[in-house]
Amino acid sequence: MSTTLAPYKVEFLKAAIDGGILKFGSFELKSKRISPYFFNAGNFYSANLLRAISTAYAKTIIEASTSSTPLEFDILFGPAYKGIPLACATVDKLADLLPEKYGKVCYSFDRKEAKDHGEGGNIVGAPLKGKRVLIVDDVVTAGTAKREAIDKIRKEGGIVVGILVALDRMEKLPAPNGDNPSTPMPSAIGEIRKEYGIPVLSILTLNDIIGGLKGKISEEDIRQMQEYKDKYRASD
Q: pLDDT tens digits, residue range 171-183? A: 999 988 888 888 8
Pairing of strands 121-125, 159-168: unpaired
In this structure, is residue 202 part of a structural domain? yes
* pLDDT over 70 at 1, yes or no: no
Q: Look up 117 and say whether it is catalytic.
A: yes
Half-sphere exposure for 179 (CA within 13 Å, toward CB): 13
When pLDDT is averaged across residues 149-159 and rounded to a whole number, the result is 96
Least confident of 56-70, 76-90, 107-121, 195-209: 107-121
Q: Look up 146 and say whether it is catalytic.
A: no
In this structure, is residue 2 part of a structural domain? no
In this structure, is residue 164 part of a structural domain? yes
When pLDDT is averaged across residues 190-210 and rounded to a whole number, the result is 95
In this structure, is residue 1 part of a structural domain? no
In this structure, is residue 214 part of a structural domain? yes
When pLDDT is averaged across residues 23-37 and rounded to a whole number, the result is 93
In whole angstroms, what is the distance from residue 68 CA to residue 178 CA? 40
53 in Cβ contact with 62 (< 8 Å)? no
103 in Cβ contact with 96 (< 8 Å)? no
pLDDT value of position 2: 45
* pLDDT over 70 at 116, yes or no: no
Half-sphere exposure for 192 (CA within 13 Å, toward CB): 30
Domain range for 59 is 7-231
- How far is CA 2 from each of CA 7, 32, 66, 203, 214, rounded to the nearest angstrom? 9, 31, 24, 15, 8
* pLDDT over 70 at 114, yes or no: no
Half-sphere exposure for 59 (CA within 13 Å, toward CB): 15
Residue 54 sits in a domain of what CATH number? 3.40.50.2020
Summarize pLDDT for 56-91 with one digit per residue, the tens.
Answer: 999 999 999 988 888 999 999 999 989 999 999 999
Least confident of 117-121, 193-197, 216-220, 221-225: 117-121
Question: Pick the catalytic residue: 30, 32, 104, 117?
Answer: 117
pLDDT value of position 236: 78
The DSSP secondary-structure symbol of 139 reads B
In this structure, is residue 236 part of a structural domain? no
Question: Pick the catalytic residue: 115, 129, 194, 231?
Answer: 115
Phi/psi for 170 (5° steps) reads: 60, 35
56: helix, strand or coil:
helix
When pLDDT is averaged across residues 99-115 and rounded to a whole number, the result is 88
Comparing C-alpha atoms, which of 82, 204, 62 is closest to residue 136?
82
Distance in Å from the first CA to the final CA of the chain: 28
Residue 105 is which amino acid? V
In this structure, is residue 79 part of a structural domain? yes
* pLDDT over 60 at 227, yes or no: yes
When pLDDT is averaged across residues 194-200 and rounded to a whole number, the result is 95
For the chain, give the mean pLDDT: 92
pLDDT value of position 196: 95
In whole angstroms, what is the distance from residue 138 CA to residue 141 CA? 10
| Total of domains in the chain | 1
pLDDT value of position 47: 95
pLDDT value of position 133: 98
